[in-house]
A and B are shown apart, each in its own frame.
Chain A
Amino acid sequence: MKVALFFLLINIFSIVGVFAEEHQAYDLLITQDKLVAVQVVLLIILVVIVTFLIRQEKQIKSLEDRIK
C-alpha cells in the first residue's frame, strides 16, 4: 500500500511538470524580465515557513517547560 502510494506520488509529480510546461507560470519562471515575480512568490513562501517555524518553536518550548 505504502509503495503504491509512493509511486502514485511520483506520477503526480511528473504530471504536474507536464502541465506546468503549458502554463503561463512556466514562462514567468524562466524569462529574464519576470525575476521579480519569482522573487515575490519565494518571499511569500519564506515568510509563511518562518512564521510557522517560530510559532512551532514557541509551542514546543512551552510544552517542554510544562513537562520539566
Chain B
Amino acid sequence: MTYEKFTTQIWWKAITIVLLFYTCIYGFIVKVPDLPILEQSIRNLFFHVPMWFAMMLLMMINLFFSIKYLSSNSQRNDVIAEKSALIGLLFGFLGLATGSVWAKVTWGAWWVFAEVKLNATAAAVLVYCAYFILRSSFSDSEMKAKFSGVYSIFAFVMFMVFINIIPRVSGSSLHPGNGGNPGFNSYDLDNNLRKVFYPAVIAWIGLGLWLSSLLVRIQFVKRKLDSID
C-alpha cells in the first residue's frame, strides 16, 4: 500500500478519533498509582510521551521520503517529507509544552537547566527548526528539495542522538526510567496506566499522520491545479 493510498482511507482516521476521545475521557477516570509529588499529574503520561512518539514517527517518515526523493527526484516525495517534518515539529513543541507543565508540578520549575534530557530535546527540536530555515533559504524548488533531503538524514541522526543516546549516556537525568530513576512500569502494578497509554500512543500518532496527510493532499491538489505534476 502506498502512502497516497493509505492517507485517503477512512478506517484509521475513525480509529484515531475513537482513541483520542478514549484517551481524553478514560485517561481522567482511570485509577492511577498513588505516588508522592507526581499525584494526579501522572495522567500527563497519556499526552507528553505520545507526543514524542508521534514526532519520532513523523521524522522517520520525513527521513524515508527524503531518501526516496534523493533516489527518485520526484517532487512529490519532497512534499511528503516536508509536511511530515512540519507536523513532527508541531508535536515536538507540544511535547516540550506538556513536559514543561509537568516539570513545574514535579520539579518546581518550568525548565530545569541541569536536566540533560530537557536540553537535549530542545536541541533536537532546534535541529528541525534549522531544516525549515534551510528550506526557506532556497528559491529553486529542486535545490531546496535536494539540500533539505540531505540535511534531513543528518537531522534524524542528530535527533536520535539528542533524545535517546545523550540522556542515557549522561546518567544524570531526572526523567523516570533514566539516570537510575525507576520507570512508571515498576509502580503500575495493575497495568492501569498501560490501558490508556498504549491507545494514547496510537491516537496521537494517528492525529499526526492525519494532519500531515491533509497538508500533503492540499499541496498535491495545488500542484495539479498549477500543472506542476
A interface residues, Cβ below 8 angstroms from B: 2-3, 6, 13-14, 17-18, 21, 29-32, 35-36, 38-39, 42-43, 46, 49-50, 53, 56-57, 60-61, 63-64, 67
Whether a CB of chain A sits under 8 angstroms from the CB of B25 is: yes
Q: Residue A57 contacts which of B13, B129, B221 (CB distance < 8 angstroms)?
A: B13
Across the interface, name the chain A residue whose C-beta is closest to B41: A30
A43 near B214 with CB under 8 A, answer: no
B211 nearest in chain A by CB position = A53
28 A-B contacts (beta carbon < 8 Å): A13-B97, A17-B104, A18-B110, A21-B104, A29-B101, A30-B41, A30-B105, A32-B39, A35-B28, A35-B40, A38-B28, A39-B24, A43-B21, A43-B24, A46-B24, A49-B207, A50-B20, A53-B214, A57-B13, A60-B214, A60-B217, A60-B218, A63-B221, A64-B8, A64-B217, A64-B221, A67-B224, A67-B225
**Residues on the B chain within 8 Å of A61, using CB:** 8
Residues of B whose CB lies within 8 Å of any CB of A are: 8, 13, 17, 20-21, 24-25, 28, 39-41, 43, 97, 100-101, 104-105, 110, 129, 133, 136, 207, 210-211, 214, 217-218, 221, 224-225
- Contact partners of B129 in chain A: CB under 8 A: 6
B207 — which chain A residues lie within 8 A by C-beta?
A: 49
CB distance from A4 to the nearest CB of B (A): 12
Q: Compute how far the CA of A64 lies from the CA of B207 in the bound complex, rounded to whole angstroms.
A: 21
| A-chain residues with CB within 8 Å of residue B101 when the two chains form the complex | 29
Task: Report how far A46 CA is from B200 CA in the complex, Å.
Answer: 13
Cross-chain pair count, CB within 8 angstroms: 57
A38 to B29, CA, bound (A): 12
SS class, residues of chain B in contact with chain A: helix
Q: Which of A17, A38, A50, A67 is within 8 Å of B221, CB to CB?
A: A67
Q: Report the Cα distance A52→B133, complex, angstroms.
A: 28
In the complex, how many angstroms separate the beta carbon of B90 from the nearest chain A beta carbon? 12
Additional A-B contact list (19), CB under 8 Å, known A2-B133, A31-B40? A6-B133, A13-B97, A17-B110, A18-B110, A21-B104, A21-B110, A30-B41, A30-B105, A32-B39, A35-B28, A35-B40, A36-B28, A38-B28, A39-B24, A42-B24, A46-B21, A53-B211, A57-B214, A63-B221
Q: For A67, list chain B residues within 8 Å (CB).
A: 221, 224-225
In the complex the two chains form, what is the Cα distance from A31 to B136 in whole Å? 44
**Distance between B25 CB and nearest chain A CB, rounded to angstroms:** 7
Residue from B20, B41, B218 in contact with A46 in the complex, judged by beta carbons closer than 8 Å: B20
Query: In the complex, A61 Cα to B220 Cα: how many Å?
Result: 12
CB distance from A48 to the nearest CB of B (A): 12
A57 to B129, CA, bound (A): 28
CA distance A18 to B110 in the complex (A): 9
Task: Check A17 against B13 for contact (C-beta < 8 Å).
Answer: no
